[in-house]
Amino acid sequence: MAIQYFWRHPLAEQVREEGRIQDRQEMTLRVLEWRGIPVPDAVRERVLACADLGRLEVLAQRAVRAADAAELFADE
């Protein structure tokens, strides 16, 4: 019973959310690296600083099509 309660606890949800954010950040950078696109430190820092899952989804989608890592932030 205690285990089921823990997974419904707000702290558990926060931990899961932080994990999703970290996964999305890493995935975005990994896609660029897999595609052979150099990732400058400035771009890496901006991706890792982003904590908005919706925005990270957009960045991940752009990473699939980008010719350059800076294109992730073309709209800013």
pLDDT of residue 1: 47
> How confident is the model at residue 46, as a pLDDT?
95
CA distances from 18 to 22, 71, 76 (A): 6, 25, 24
Model confidence, pTM: 0.78
From first to last of the 76 residues of the chain, give the pLDDT tens digit: 455 655 666 767 777 778 899 999 999 999 999 999 999 999 999 999 999 989 999 999 999 999 999 999 988 6
